[in-house]
Structure 1
Amino acid sequence: MSVSKTRTVQIRWNMTGALLAWCLTASLAFADEWRSAAAIPKGAEEVYGIAAGGKLYVFGGLGLDWNAMGMVMEYDPGTDIWTRKRDMPRGLHHVALAEVKGRIYMFGGFTLPEKGKPMWVPVNDAWEYDPQADAWRALAPLPVARGSANAIHINGRIHVIGGATLPAGLKEEWVHPSRNIAVGTHEVYDLASNSWTKAADMPTPRNHATGAAVDNRIYIIGGRIGSVFIPNAFNIDLVEEYNPAKDQWQLRTPMPTPRSASAWGVYGGQIYVAGGEIRHRDIWGTYTAVEAFDPKSNSWIRHSPMPMPRHGLAGDFIGNHFHLVSGSVQSGTNASGLITNTDRHDILVIDRK
């Protein structure tokens, strides 16, 4: 495994400095257009989106006391209608999704402990969902149980990278809020053989990151280090590229806005990152930022901001339409009792003419 000799984690908490860095490292894209589409029937935070067969599928949702809703919703852009589909096999949150030939693959996540207070227990679940049949099928389990990882498909293999799990050597059943439990674990699922192999771990352990593939290379962007819980974690801007042919990682240009719990999608060879959250001292917030990484030029382009800031939202592209659905406008756990989830469905139309 080869990694750049200099690996500096850049954590920018000074808002003026972050704004200056954003202006210096990202060029402004024009011709952006925002549209509204049918709201999702049930708004929630911690929803996860992926496109398949020309439709958008939204999974998950997190209710009170961390009860996972396990919902599956299908959005048809041709009719602007949402349809409720068969629920997830069990209630999980912070799952990793990938799409291959119209089928959707789901890995890991967290669930509640069998007894005691509500907490997050990492699982090794692996599932295939067939949207046409509206049916689930269990797969060979993920070797290392973890949640908030990324799943990226390349050439018949799905790479499950990063996330958060239980610390080794400690007899704990759920993830402790203050522990450094982010991992760089990299395991590869082979669809043909329904089996797993090991690959080079990601150099920077992280969770709640963006993960996508362009031209047979994998990119892990941003996320958080340390804890899986935002009050005890730090957002990072690092972009790491993985080459499956060489089983090697290297650094690329950092993301202008360090953040985690964003939505993302790929269009025109660029990786779009939207929204996310920050929590530091007296700052509890969510982002409107939309930024796109171009691997060919190793540079970032900033797009018009989202109409409403939020994190834990679902997103993906259908054609040149970047769908961004639901999420929460409040960072982290909401202790105020206010409802901070939204059913909003925004579309960023990308026009490069």
Structure 2
Amino acid sequence: MTRPLLVPFASLALLAPLPAAPAALAHEVGAWAGASSAPAERSEVAVAALDGKAYVIGDYNGATELLIYDLATDTWSKGAPFPYPVHHTMAAEQGGRIYVFGGYVNGWEATDRVWAYDAAKDTWQPRTPMPTARAAGGATPLDGTIHVVGGSGSGRGNVRSHEVYDPARDAWTRAADLPTPRDHLSVQNVEGRIVASGGRIDGDSGKNLSANQVYDPVRDAWSEAAPLPTARSGTASAVLGREVFVIGGESNRKTYDEVEAFDLPGNVWRALARLPTARHGFGAVTYKGRIYTLTGSPRPGGDKSGTVEVLDPNNAAPAR
């Protein structure tokens, strides 16, 4: 198997995108570059971006330091520690703050607690708890609010709850439940709708799903969409244009290097150059047309890394 091109970050150059091709004949596209490793290894984190920086929150192994990656300078710093050890938490940016929802504490106890991080003051403040304690779900901003979708509770049983946080009012409302309850899923906002892809049943990575469902806030309703081509969970995900990129993940046997992008208006998936370091329990953010993947475990379970790899989806990679 020919691996995707991996070049030094500074030398990554833009090329024209390849023309569209029929699915059966399409080649994987995109090129990966290495970037500066995190100052500490992490897995089962939440990652969110604010003002050109990516924030890595939580850790499966109990670290609480906030890791901050400057996307423009490829450098790392540290911020105020999260108030307690947490893993499988969820995070999203809204209104100039990073909000962190739930996660597992004290081992595998799902919490309902919510925190807001003020980057200017480097401080954490508590907010109104979630109606449903959960971990390993998804959180994404939409129209001034943050939608928290799916996940699992204490004991790792799935919750289908879909709850909406309004930072301006520090208050919660409920929305239509996720049709297929699952955890370790990808949840992203694309063009005013929410796409929920992949995941697993009751925390069991031997029961991965290809489910792909779309939420319309105008109708407060979910619909089925083209399934994720590679069923997996523990993925990182990010949005560029009208596509959701679902990256990596795990099963009970392996970690994945698949990178698949879902075009919401077209209801179609395409494959891109494979992730150089297959891993799960990590996060991704976008910056200037590229996708940055941060930390994660290269083996199924509780391993960790400081790996940072960057995808330019417009560069051509060698065909496999």
User: RMSD of the alignment, in Å?
Assistant: 1.8
Among 102, 106, 128, which residue is 1:108 paired with?
102
Residue identity in the other structure for 1:272 = F
Q: Are 1:53 and 2:46 matched, yes or no? A: no
State the 1:60 CA deviation.
1.2
Give the superposition deviation at 1:29: 4.2
Instruction: Calculate the TM-score normalised by the size of structure 2.
Output: 0.88
- 1:260 paired with 2:260, answer no
Secondary structure, counterpart of 1:153 in structure 2: strand
Give me the whole-angstrom Cα distance separating, in 1, the residues matched to 2:288 and 2:48. 13
What are the within-5 Å matches in structure 2 for residues 110-189 of structure 1? Answer: 110-112=104-106, 119-166=107-154, 175=155, 181-189=157-165
Q: Does 1:278 align with 2:272?
A: no
Asked if the contact 1:146–1:164 (Cα under 8 Å) also holds between the matched residues in 2, the reply is yes
In the comparison of the two structures, how many residue pairs are matched?
295
Measured against aligned partners, the alpha-carbon deviations of 1:116-136 in whole angstroms (never above 9, x if no partner) come to: xxx300100111112222111
Q: 1:84 to 1:25 in 2, by over 3 A?
A: farther
Secondary structure in 1 aligned to 2:232? Answer: coil
How is 1:1-353 mapped onto 2 (pairs within 5 angstroms)?
27-30=26-29, 32-63=30-61, 68-112=62-106, 119-166=107-154, 175=155, 181-225=157-201, 227-230=202-205, 233-279=206-252, 284-333=253-302, 340-351=303-314
Moved more, 321-330 or 199-208: 321-330
**Quick check: 1:237–1:258 contact (8 Å CA) kept in 2?**
yes
Contact persistence 2:45–2:89 (CA under 8 A):
no
Q: Is the 8 A contact 1:26 1:302 kept in 2?
A: no
Residues in 2 aligned to 1:184 and 1:350: alpha-carbon distance in whole angstroms:
33
Letter in 2 for 1:188: V
The answer on whether the counterparts of 1:29 and 1:303 sit within 8 Å (CA) in structure 2 is yes
Determine the C-alpha separation between the residues in 2 that align with 1:98 and 1:38: 23
Q: Give the CA deviation at 1:47.
A: 2.1
d(CA) in 2 for partners of 1:156, 1:26: 41
Deviation at 1:102, TM superposition (A): 2.8
- Kindly indicate whether structure 1 or structure 2 has the higher relative contact order, using CA contacts under 8 Å at least 6 residues apart: 2
CA contact (8 A) 1:40 1:343 kept: yes
Counting aligned pairs with the same residue, the percent is 35
Whether the aligned pair in 2 keeps the contact of 1:25 and 1:256 (CA below 8 Å) is no
Q: TM-score, normalised on structure 1?
A: 0.80
Shift of 1:301: 1.2
| Inter-partner Cα distance in structure 1 for 2:213 and 2:115 | 27
Distance 2:212 2:258 in 1: 17
What amino acid sits opposite 2:203 in the alignment?
V
Instruction: Assess, with a 3 A threshold, how the Cα gap between structure 1 residues 182 and 328 changes in structure 2: closer, same or farther.
Output: same
